[in-house]
């Protein structure tokens, strides 16, 4: 990918770029005045909704509409949700109840995975979303893993890879951005990165064979986004988690694997990084590693602090000015890819429709272990 050479270095431009590197969460089911003021100040790239923001699907659609109206129309909002299925499903009442991805791996028919992905893409589109943080591309290789388990398609990296690729293709052909997570693999951890900093002690041949295989398939399927893992892989980088590692993200994911889409950090509020590294160090290293967007999912104070540090990094070092410009080029390319000829969203009656119930009942029946 060619580099975009920046000539504008004004404070206004740096603030605009800093805001466009943020994906933020909000506190409730509507936008209060404090949140509205913060959004006006930050002008983030987009938003992520959680169960705390959800009352029912029509309210979610209206909340997404309101959030989108608060940002500059020249930079249309990324509106995102974790609607994986199984344990991770933010909108439940009124939407289809989704089995975990492991059920699809157990059925092991790509046409069924494709139908599931299309079902889910249509439901999230109906509620106003344009990005779903799925699929999990982690291989469930550690039975003691506290957070992956049946969120993964399989314990077999080859099976995970083929279902990940099919899921991405079927999601994105309906205009919903997919996300392969958590790069380069969270499946062999024994601890939860929400609570501590996990380490995966594997040699490079095994990492290539197991952890990376599904992500290679995701790149080949032209996945829009990759989410980083707050996990240390000592054979690649013994000093930094993947989110902050130039070796893992820039060298391996971008240069060796050829990924040109958006790299998004996992939530900066997670204890794997929060309080373990100064925020400036986190952002400095992650930007140098070619992270484009930063998730700050709940805390307004951290959202504002992240914005201010991103501005200061550009002010303090010309290299960060260029890194931000490069990130904006990738963001713009992604928006053009998915937003310029976006298809009209389905009507709300697609949610939990009879057709969807029948498909999911079949998957539940055939895929349960």
pLDDT at 5: 44
- How distant, in Å, are the alpha carbons of 112, 145, 153, 361 from that of 366? 11, 25, 14, 9
Tell whether 193 is covered by a domain. Answer: yes
Phi, psi of 175, rounded to the nearest 5 degrees:
90, 10
Task: Evaluate whether residue 54 is within a structural domain.
Answer: yes
Give a yes or no: residue 260 inside a domain: yes
This prediction has a pTM of 0.95
Residue 199 resides in a domain? yes
- Write out the catalytic residue numbers: 194, 266
Q: What is the mean pLDDT of the chain?
A: 95
- Residue 219 within a domain: yes
140 assigned to some structural domain? yes
Residue 46 is assigned to a structural domain of this protein:
yes
Tokens representing 68 are 């989108």
Give the domain range for residue 58.
22-367
Split the chain (369 residues) into runs of 10 and give each run's mean pLDDT. Answer: 52 97 96 97 98 97 98 96 95 96 97 98 98 97 89 97 98 98 91 86 96 98 97 95 97 98 95 90 97 97 98 95 97 97 92 96 91
**CA 75/CA 257 separation, integer angstroms:** 28
Query: Number of structural domains, the chain?
Result: 1
181 inside domain: yes
CATH number at residue 205: 3.20.20.300
Distance CA 75, CA 103 (A): 38
pLDDT of residue 8: 54
């Amino acid at each position: 990918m060619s580099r975009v050479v920046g000539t504008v270095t004004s404070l206004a431009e740096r603030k605009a770029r800093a805001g466009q590197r943020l994906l933020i969460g909000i506190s409730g089911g509507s936008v209060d005045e404090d949140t509205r003021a913060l959004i006006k100040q930050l002008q983030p790239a987009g938003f992520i909704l959680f169960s705390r923001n959800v009352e029912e699907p029509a309210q979610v659609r209206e909340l997404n509409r309101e959030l989108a109206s608060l940002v500059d129309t020249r930079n249309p909002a990324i509106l995102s949700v974790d609607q994986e299925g199984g344990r991770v499903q933010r909108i439940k009442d009124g939407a289809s109840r989704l089995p975990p991805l492991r059920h699809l791996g157990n059925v092991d028919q790509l046409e069924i995975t494709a139908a599931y992905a299309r079902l889910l893409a249509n439901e999230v589109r109906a509620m106003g979303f344009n990005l779903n943080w799925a699929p999990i591309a982690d291989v469930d290789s550690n039975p003691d893993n506290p957070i992956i388990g049946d969120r993964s398609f399989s314990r077999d990296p080859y099976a995970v890879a083929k279902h990940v690729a099919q899921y991405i293709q079927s999601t994105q052909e309906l205009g919903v951005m997919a996300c392969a997570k958590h790069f380069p693999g969270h499946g062999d951890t024994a601890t939860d990165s929400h609570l501590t900093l996990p380490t995966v002690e594997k040699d490079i041949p095994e990492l290539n064979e197991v952890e990376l295989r599904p992500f290679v398939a995701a790149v080949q399927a032209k996945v829009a986004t990759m989410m980083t893992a707050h996990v240390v892989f000592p054979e690649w980088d013994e000093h930094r988690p993947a989110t902050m590692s130039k070796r893992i993200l820039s060298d391996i994911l971008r240069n060796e694997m050829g990924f040109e889409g958006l790299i998004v950090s996992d939530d900066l509020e997670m204890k794997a990084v929060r309080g373990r590294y100064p925020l400036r160090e986190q952002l400095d290293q992650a930007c140098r590693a070619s992270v484009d967007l930063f998730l700050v999912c709940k805390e307004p104070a951290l959202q504002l602090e992240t914005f201010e540090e991103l501005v200061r990094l550009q002010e303090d070092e010309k290299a960060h000015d260029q890194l931000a410009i490069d990130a904006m080029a990738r963001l713009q390319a992604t928006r053009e890819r998915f937003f310029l000829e976006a298809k009209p969203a389905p009507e709300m009656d697609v949610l939990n429709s009879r057709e969807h119930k029948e498909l999911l009942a079949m998957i539940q029946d055939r895929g349960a272990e």
